[in-house]
Amino acid sequence: MSQSPHMEAPVYTLETVAGRQLQVAYWRYSGPPNGKPPLLFFNGIGANTEVASPLPTMLDDRDFITFDMPGVGESPDPAIPYNPFIMSWITSELLDRYEMPIVDVMGVSWGGGMAQHFALQHGNRTNRLILVATTAGMVMVPGKFSALSKMVDPRRYIDPKFMETHFETLYGGSTEGSDGHIHRIKPPSKIGYFYQLFAMLGWTSAPALPFLRKPTLILTGDRDPIVQPINGQILNMLIPGSELVVIEDGGHLFMLSHAQEFIDLVREFLDRDQIEESAEAA
């Protein structure tokens, strides 16, 4: 995918925050000033920053920041476990370094839980929230066993042939864009993957979500075998004023297989404040 003329090539840095080293990826928007907040992105479990690289290139009108969780991608293994509260605090400290007082927040799958927790813990820093193929944590309807059994198999990170063979079973829906995704993956360390799983053990946002007062867009695929669509309905029911969009023929990675539809929905939602202000001014 070609680089946007208004989006600089990503800068990767290893940051030490509260004793934890994190590989940070930062895409800087260099076009005309538009007042749009940066987008903070929380990735799925075991997913490295490169997996998200198509997103800032397509959504090319704002700064974009993400990072590898401890033991994932280029972030060194964690010395001790962590939880969503700790990682949300560390994320807030990281945003201070990049002079980002207010951000839009997006999370996919496991990262959707982090996005919810960050928005609840740091509401003063959160403008809008986008939840992609995710759940309210322990209050969820489980995915299909055939997909979950493949998800915990380490071969999905280290064996491209395994991923190609089982991609549809694992992620469901259209397989468009799967080849690029497969070759951007770097395997997490065993302890990094375990600590990510452990971080969300027993976690749920459900009791707090009725008090979340942020514009929220929930996107779910109608053929997602990992996060079944009813989980999006649960989030929609719990978050006041939230919007739910179900992607037709969308699996767990509909943000890749339905990239243009996904980007159009995200861009319209993020720009809505500015659109409404322009209409009022007219």
Angle at Cα 79 formed by Cα 78 and Cα 82, nearest 5°? 60
Please give the torsion angle defined by the CA atoms of residues 18, 19, 24 and 26, in that order, rounded to the nearest 10 degrees: 40
Residue that is written with structure tokens 């395994």 in the block: 162
List active site positions: 109
Half-sphere exposure of 137 (CA within 13 A, CB side): 20
Buried (b) or exposed (e) across 85-120, using 16+ Cβ within 10 A? eebbbbbbebbeebebeebbbbbbbbbbbbbbbbbb
Q: Rounded CA gap, 241 and 231, in Å?
A: 17
Q: DSSP string of 136-197? A: BBTBS----HHHHHHHT-THHHH-HHHHHHHHHHHH-S--TTHHHHHHH--PPPHHHHHHHH
Tokens of 136: 């309210």
The answer to whether the CB of 232 falls within 8 A of the CB of 220 is yes
Where are any strands of DSSP class E within 8-125? Answer: 11-17, 20-27, 39-42, 64-67, 103-108
Q: Rounded CA gap, 113 and 10, in Å?
A: 25
AA letter at 263:
I
